[in-house]
Chain A
Amino acid sequence: MRNKVTMTVDGLEISVPAGTTVLDACLDNGIYIPNLCHLDGMEHPPASCRLCLVEVDGMRGPVTSCTLAAVDGMVVHTNTDEVRELQKLAFRMLVSCNQGNCRVCMANKRCDLQQIAKFLHLPLRTKQMRHIPKDVPEVLTDHPCIVYEPNKCVLCGRCVYVCERRGNPFSLSFANRGFNTIVTFFGSEAEGVEDACRDCRACVDICPVGALSFADERERHLRLVEAGKGRRKAG
């Protein structure tokens, strides 16, 4: 049996197995912390989305909870003003490249950004920050069957992580630098990629914001949305 540690989160005492991250400990105990890049069982969390911030007594400034192991007696605050300010700023930054239309998006209603927006009481189309789309095409179709939409992508890296773990014959990875960083399929021209990817689906299913989708499914979805709009207009 693994040892348990007990800590206090927002005044509430919780017990979790030793070695659990503070993020998992909170999520498992019904305390929501916004997060995008973390996945269960990650050995080296990328800590890239910078949303899962918390303050801990004895530590300076907000820290990422996905990289922090729960320790006995730890006192954690998930909702300080500073944490919320930074989360809101990060969220506004994330949506500042994508002022898209949720209603036509395949991830509508299951998108992590929608959940976080609700939690932080923020709109998905920010007026507080300039809208700056990435300097890359709106839709990338290099892959034989998967479509990638860079401005939806929050670069959480989940897709890269799961793809790597499946040991696929080619690799999904990051490309470009700075603001125009995207994910890209290296070697997607190779033989058999289409079948392998259709079977796998890992990246499409793990994407929290619907930036990756199968071309045919996306097409169908857009047609349905279009038809729905038509019906509503007619009705």
Chain B
Amino acid sequence: MARPTELLASLAAPARNEWGKIRQPERPLITVGNATCGRAAGSGDTIAGFREALAEKGIGADIRTVGCMGHCYAEPLVTIHYPGFPPLLYQKIGAGEARVLVNSFLVAGEDPCFEYLIGALEPNDTFPTLMDYPRYLYEKRLIMEHCGVIEPGSIDQYLAVGGYRALARALEQGGERVVEEITAAKLRGRGGAGFPAGIKWEIARNAAGTPKTVICNGDEGDPGAYMDRTLMESNPHQVLEGLAIAALAIGAERALLYIRAEYPLAVEMVEKAITDAGERGLLGKNILDSGFDLEVEVFKGSGAFVCGEETALIQSLEGKRGMPQHRPPYPAVVGLDGNPTVINNVKTLSTVPLIINHGSDWFRGIGTEDTPGTAIFSVVGEVEYPGLVEVPMGTTLRHLIDEICGGIAGGREFKAVQIGGPSGGCLPASELDTPIDFDSLRRAGAMMGSGGMVVMNDSACMVEVSRYFIDFTQKESCGKCTFCRIGTRHLLDILTDLTKGRATEEDLDELKELSAGIIKGSLCSLGKTAPNPVLTTMRFFMDEYLAHVRERRCPACMCRELTAYYIDLEACARGCDACVACCPTEAIFTTSNRKKAIDQEKCVKCGECVYACPPEYDAVRKVSPPYLVPDQGVVPLGKDEATEGGEDDA
């Protein structure tokens, strides 16, 4: 009987050969990022563009689709392997650019189109490499190493880059040893709470009851977060490998992936990966001839945010309404159908094969003492380079935002960063030196959450931001317990009043009292963390709250009821009509001296005119409170003669 590692080696050898040929192609190879983000950016057109242009020129080249590298600002991303050149990475390649690349570069290998180039993927003498950019230099791609590089639909490519080696090794070591290794690595769950994975596995391993189950939590309901989706779409086998190792560790016979139904591509990729791995004997019965069986299935969740909470997730798997349950008992002891169940996040499981391959000492050498490893954030909002970023734990927020993500876009100023999803906290500039790890973020009033990060510039009103997040959690509350169901609704009511200038200082006290009660009294973490945005914005931006109450003023000029627009007559160009057409309520009129003015009665404060006004004039002004609109004494064109006399009187 062959040992699992030997069996795997015989599977991997031909795959590696094949992969070598793909990486050193004899004819040009084009790879296109085609995960959900790439598709949204138009990768479908890109591929069609390449096909057409290649056919026209009669060039024989291969096109392969890969997942996402995380550089969402640069999608569609294209890599070209051209014999004699290092692999070159290009950004924002639409159908037109694809044509240019074919005509200038692929035809004869002459002009590699520097205008679209990001850099070479390998060191060389001619081209800048990715390491010349801070984004690539400071990132530490452990979990995402192969994302956007290998084809997610190809099990061979995963095998070629060392895939399933950790599973083979784990099968030889046995579950107990695996649990020890993961415990020694101090791997903490990446789904939000940061609970040590090894300890959870140990509990489930020792708990009575069969069949045991492991579940990959791919519910990912945080608005704006998409790292789990990306991992499942770009490297599904790595998730499966981690899941299988977890199953082995606790002695589970079945494994489930709970993926939200809004992630059709992730479901497709994972399902294909399960089938392919089953065919190679890497999942299913008698895995790698070790005698270990594991049935793996995908369950499509119907998309409620709260179903990501582990006890609600189990309820939902059991066909019940997704409502969190009191813990203990914890799922590791009493889980699915009453049996021990381990639930881990996609990122947690994706990290597992790395630890088994490289050892716990290696892993503990990355990140911080209490939280080793890397963190993946989806950084969205007002930064220059939004996207997925993988950095060692302990990286400061400042470094992440300023260096790696290129700082605030458009020359504006940083104001706040919301970390940890809708129930995370909003941190100001003074907290930017906070290192990214579970405990530091919690101390600062935010949390790791599952890794959503929204960066805001000085145009964001912190009261409105907190209202926005409470509106989300309030709607997503499962409605079970009193504090969360009713308390968050009261928070929302008061915050709404604040943004409309109707709140009092007593309301501010009420916000604090309600928040404290909701945190202490709620059943699950949705309720227990929901007030975080309110409390952190009140802690760090109290002046803005007070301005809304005392002066009915929104300092960021964001709250509609508290702001007004007017046109600066000095800046307005005589005869320019750009703003008139954009106004949905026809509030903009031409004045007697052929400039423009806004009828405050008709204005709905949509702000369209700000964008319509040509930058060279930039004449639209926003003020808060609304009474600051100056009395310009303007008269509509054509009415001037008629009203002249009257005006003199006024």
Interface residues of A (CB under 8 A from B): 44-51, 53, 61-62, 64, 67, 82, 85-86, 89-90, 93-94, 96-97, 129-130, 132, 154-155, 157, 173-174, 176-181
Decide yes or no whether B475 CB sits under 8 A from chain A: yes
Q: Nearest B residue to A160 by beta-carbon distance?
A: B321
- Say whether, besides A45-B326, A47-B326, A93-B483, A177 and B520 are in contact (CB < 8 Å): no
Between A45, A49, A61, A177, the greatest number of chain B beta carbons within 10 A of the residue's beta carbon is seen for A177
Q: Nearest B residue to A176 by beta-carbon distance?
A: B479
Cβ-defined contact, A61 with B520, below 8 A:
yes
- Say whether, besides A50-B481, A64-B326, A86 and B521 are in contact (CB < 8 Å): yes
For the residues of B in contact with A, the DSSP-based class is helix
Q: Nearest A residue to B323 by beta-carbon distance?
A: A174
For the residues of A in contact with B, the DSSP-based class is loop
| A residues near B489, Cβ cutoff 8 Å | 132, 178-179
**Set A44, A67, A90, A176: member contacting B482, Cβ < 8 A:** A90
Cβ-defined contact, B325 with A44, below 8 A:
yes
Decide yes or no whether B39 CB sits under 8 A from chain A: no
**Set A48, A62, A90, A93: member contacting B480, Cβ < 8 A:** A48
| B residues near A93, Cβ cutoff 8 Å | 482-483, 486-487, 490
**Set A48, A61, A178: member contacting B476, Cβ < 8 A:** A178
- Say whether, besides A177-B304, A178-B475, A179-B479, A132 and B521 are in contact (CB < 8 Å): no
Between A48, A62, A173, A176, the greatest number of chain B beta carbons within 10 A of the residue's beta carbon is seen for A48
Cβ-defined contact, B477 with A177, below 8 A:
yes
| B residues near A44, Cβ cutoff 8 Å | 325-326
Contact string, B461-474, partner A, CB cutoff 8 A, digits 1/0? 00000000000001
| B residues near A179, Cβ cutoff 8 Å | 474, 477, 479, 485-486, 488-489
Cβ-defined contact, B487 with A67, below 8 A:
no
15 contacts between A and B (CB under 8 A): A44-B325, A45-B326, A48-B482, A49-B481, A62-B520, A86-B520, A86-B521, A89-B517, A90-B517, A97-B486, A155-B485, A173-B321, A177-B477, A178-B485, A179-B479
Interface residues of B (CB under 8 A from A): 304, 321, 323, 325-326, 474-483, 485-490, 493-494, 510, 513-514, 517, 520-523
Q: Whole-angstrom distance between the alpha carbons of A96 and B321 in the complex?
A: 26
Q: Whole-angstrom distance between the alpha carbons of A64 and B474 in the complex?
A: 23
Closest Cβ of chain B to A26, distance in Å, is 18
| B residues near A132, Cβ cutoff 8 Å | 489-490, 493
Q: Whole-angstrom distance between the alpha carbons of A47 and B327 in the complex?
A: 10
Cβ-defined contact, A53 with B493, below 8 A:
no
**Set A62, A89, A94, A177: member contacting B475, Cβ < 8 A:** A177
Closest Cβ of chain A to B519, distance in Å, is 10
- Say whether, besides A45-B326, A132-B489, A177 and B483 are in contact (CB < 8 Å): no
- Say whether, besides A96-B490, A130-B490, A132-B490, A177 and B479 are in contact (CB < 8 Å): yes
Cβ-defined contact, B521 with A178, below 8 A:
no
Q: Whole-angstrom distance between the alpha carbons of A97 and B481 in the complex?
A: 14
| A residues near B475, Cβ cutoff 8 Å | 177-178
Q: Whole-angstrom distance between the alpha carbons of A85 and B475 in the complex?
A: 26
Q: Nearest B residue to A87 by beta-carbon distance?
A: B521
Closest Cβ of chain A to B344, distance in Å, is 24
| A residues near B321, Cβ cutoff 8 Å | 173-174
Q: Whole-angstrom distance between the alpha carbons of A97 and B486 in the complex?
A: 8
Closest Cβ of chain B to A62, distance in Å, is 7
